[in-house]
Every structure is written in C-alpha cells, then in structure tokens.
Structure 1
C-alpha cells in the first residue's frame, strides 16, 4: 500500500497543473499563448488597473484570450486566430465564474446556470452582467466576432467579457461592415492573428440603480497580421472607429495604429512579433 501511495504521489507530482480561466500571465498557459503571433503578448494595456487575463475556455478547450478591465467591466482587447465558418450559434450569453471566485469552474458558463449552483451570490462585482445591457440603448458589441470563428470557438465568443457597449449604428453597420471586409481579406491568409480592443471613456457609463456599471468606450480598434504558407508575414493593418451613432471606420497601417494607441496608454511597442514584419 505504501509503495502504491508513493507511486501515485510521483505521478500526480509530474502532471501539469490544472489551469483556470483567470491566469496570472498568458505565458503561463501555452494553449492561450497560441492566440498571439509568435507568442508575443502586447505590452499595451498590461498596466491597466484591475486588469485580469482570461484564457477563454468553453467545452473544455481554449478558444481565444482576453485582457479584461474589471474596474470598467469591459475588455481591453481580445486576441484570436482567424477562422471562418457558417456554424449555427445559440447566442446564449455567458460570464466568467473565476472572476467571481477563483476556485469556481474554469470554463465560461451561462449566468442562469451559475445562479442555480451558487444561490445568493452576486456575480457582477468584477464583470458586466446581461442585465446591464438591457434597456441601455447600447449593443453588446463583440470584439472577437462570431463570423471570424467556427465550431465551438464561434459559440465561445458569446461571453460578456468579449463585448463592450457599442452604439447600434457602429455595431450593426460601420464596424460590422469592416468585420465583413476583414473576413474576406483574411480568408486569403494561411494564418491570421487579430487583436480587437476598446478605449474606455473618461466618464461615460451604463448606469443601473444609480451605480456606474459598464464603461462606454470612446473608440474601438483592430489590428491584424496575415501569414503565408511558410508562416511568414505578408501583410498587416488595423482600424479605429469612434463609438458614436454617426460614425465611420478609419483604416490604418500598424505604425499609424500604434501612434493612435499611444495617445491613450503607453508603452505600445509591438502589437505583434517584429511588428508583423519579416
């Protein structure tokens, strides 16, 4: 029995640690680091107060990564690998259990299921809830959009940590048109890595019961890096759009985008490894 116990101890000691969704560093989880070109995580946004790093997990698999601002209750950015498909989605919105309690399940869950499991617990201290968006006059605007994903990864985009309040015109028209353009553009890449983020406003919020609940961003931004069959960068670019009802999308080079982002937070440095260059 003692020998068996010793063997069990040795096996368990050499097993990789179980990783939750909320991690200290994206570098801690190799599967999560895969959503950044060359494993290069941008410095931009890392110093955001109250930031949490989410390896977005659904159906026991990682699908993308999100740097999440728990004070403004919006994403700083989501990072993903482009894929496309026409798979159906249920559009059931999830939240992140480990933003409530680090010991809870690692995978995203629907709020109604968590209510059943954890009666009397408030889930919205560090993240937005579905009720925040109801009657707010703002859409739940995806950062990692469903049309840039397939299979379970498509469904995994429906977590409230991957959305920010967007005006209906931006979400349903201007930014949606840009996402469609980008979808066609990135289909010609062998691989493509994408970052989509938000610039929080100074004092514009969705307010519920006289409480500032979810910050309404001033801008949405995007950056992408397209690779050939040999894994070499062949083109890159980005875009920005004001989060207003009368809005349009402005396309940028990566250098122009970095200059834009530097107005709001430093350092920007590289958004992609070697600035998505050869």
Structure 2
C-alpha cells in the first residue's frame, strides 16, 4: 500500500520513470546503429553496467527510450545512445532521479525514482547532494534539446545520464553545438543514431571526493542520406573552450587516447565507420 502511494505521488509530479539495470543491451538494442553497441573496453579497475532507460506505460509495461553505459567506479555515464528524430519544442521537468538497483542489489524495486532513505544509496552512483555547491552543472548526455516527446524529455533527467560539466562550457559552446547538431541532422533521410559520452578528468579532485568531473564531452552521429551513411564526430572543450569536429574514425582514435586504453574503440560498427571516414577524405 505504501509503495502504491509513493507511485501516485511521484507520478503527480512529472511521470513515473523506470530504468532497468541489465546484463547487456538486448532489451534496448534498437537505440544503436545496426543494433550494435559501441566497442568499448573500460580501463583496468573500472566497472561499468548497461542500463536500458525507460518509462512505465499505462499497462505497467516498460517503454524504452534510450540506453546508457554507466561507470559505478567513476559515478558518471560513459555514454548514452539514442535515436534522434526531428526535434520540436519540449518543456522540461528537472526531477532528477537515481537508480536503486545500482546500490541496493537485494531490492525488488526496478524503478528509477527520487532518493529514499535506504542505506548505501550513492555508493555506486552520483546523487543530487554531490552536486550541491560544487560549481558544476549536471550536464545531460542525451539532452532535452534532442528529444521530441514528453516521455523522452522526462527520462533524460536521471543522474545516470549526467556528469559534472563546467557551467561556462555547458551553457555556451556545448549548447551551441547541440543546436548545430539539430540543424546538421535535418539533411538525414530518416532518423539518426547518436552516441554521446564523457571522458573523466582523473587528475582533478573528484566532486564531493566521489564523482569524477568531465574532462571532455564527445558525440558521434550517423544516418542515411541518399542511401549512403553520413556522420560526424565531436569533442570538447579544446584549448579555446570550443567544440572540435572530426570524422567518427578520428574520434575513435581520440577516445582511445583520452581513456588511455589499449583496445580499439569503435562507436559505430567498424565497416560503417570506415565508410564514413573514406567519404570525408574524398576531394570536394
């Protein structure tokens, strides 16, 4: 009965959100190009978990909206993957949620929700309290600007889809970049596949001595245009606090360098990344 009352209260604020911590992305693979998640092997000692981000429908069934690979070591997401459709003006509801399953392994509750009073919540994930007086913004990976419906907008406001981001970068260069991506993807024949991620700054003091702040944010896009794949890669901030554009294959190599891993990284399926790179190299 108490659980039902809690659901009704939370639903009255915005909507009841649910995220499922899973062994792999099989339940939400449609958010990856060709159903293939990025090839990413985390550095030694870094733990990651796949999350299928979703909402309940009116029949009690999950509506999956995007996918996140979350690091319980860094307490920030490695990336979020989503399908971009032509965006339209969506309001926002910043009711930030946490995922109980990341910390309370014995819980039968599989729903993302506001922080309760259980012990150990926050052991494997960031909390709102970690951001208080930190000087950092909660930087969305899947941004509200790239959603085109109310449910997707609500589902982006989870701390498993955010990382500490410098406010000057978040509200200026990165915001302009998010708007520019919308314009760029207008040329796509249909939907576009987007993966946005974070590289932690391992040399900085962690936020609240716990949550790694971001050193770089990155994004890769891919879609069909005229029957051929087109795509771009981005990362920032650079030395001038701006966003750099590059090919997806160049971004793969940059990320391997940034994360300091030996295994190659491939955001999109290797054969498609190669096509995108060759297309970029052709003389105009």
Same fold (TM > 0.5): yes
Superposition deviation, residue 109 in structure 1: 1.3
Task: Give the TM-score, by structure 2 length.
Answer: 0.80
Shift of the 120–26 alpha-carbon distance from structure 1 to 2, 3 Å rule, reads closer
Unmatched tracts of structure 1, length 5 or more = 1-18
Unmatched tracts of structure 2, length 5 or more = 1-17, 57-61, 277-284
Aligned to 1:135: 133
Aligned mates of 1:165, 1:25 — CA distance in 2: 26
What RMSD, in angstroms, separates the aligned Cα atoms of the two structures? Answer: 2.2
Report the structure number with the largest CA radius of gyration.
Answer: 1
Aligned mates of 2:265, 2:228 — CA distance in 1: 18
Shift of the 241–92 alpha-carbon distance from structure 1 to 2, 3 Å rule, reads same
Shift of the 251–89 alpha-carbon distance from structure 1 to 2, 3 Å rule, reads same
Matched pairs, number: 245
Aligned partner (choices 99, 104, 109) of residue 105 of structure 1: 109
Shift of the 75–205 alpha-carbon distance from structure 1 to 2, 3 Å rule, reads farther
Aligned to 1:262: 256
Report the secondary structure of 2:65's partner residue: strand
Aligned partner (choices 37, 51, 55) of residue 54 of structure 1: 51
Aligned mates of 1:275, 1:77 — CA distance in 2: 19
How far does the alpha carbon of each residue in 1:123-146 deviate from its partner, in whole angstroms, 9 at most, with x for none? 100000001111100000011111
Superposition deviation, residue 40 in structure 1: 1.1
Q: Is the 8 A contact 2:90 2:144 kept in 1?
A: no
Q: Is the 8 A contact 2:19 2:99 kept in 1?
A: no
Aligned partner (choices 32, 35, 40) of residue 36 of structure 2: 40
Aligned to 2:75: 73
Q: Is the 8 A contact 1:41 1:271 kept in 2?
A: yes
Aligned mates of 1:88, 1:54 — CA distance in 2: 25
Aligned partner (choices 96, 99, 106) of residue 96 of structure 1: 99
How far does the alpha carbon of each residue in 1:206-263 deviate from its partner, in whole angstroms, 9 at most, with x for none? 443xxx211012111111101247xx4431011110388x611100111211121121
Q: Is the 8 A contact 2:173 2:242 kept in 1?
A: yes
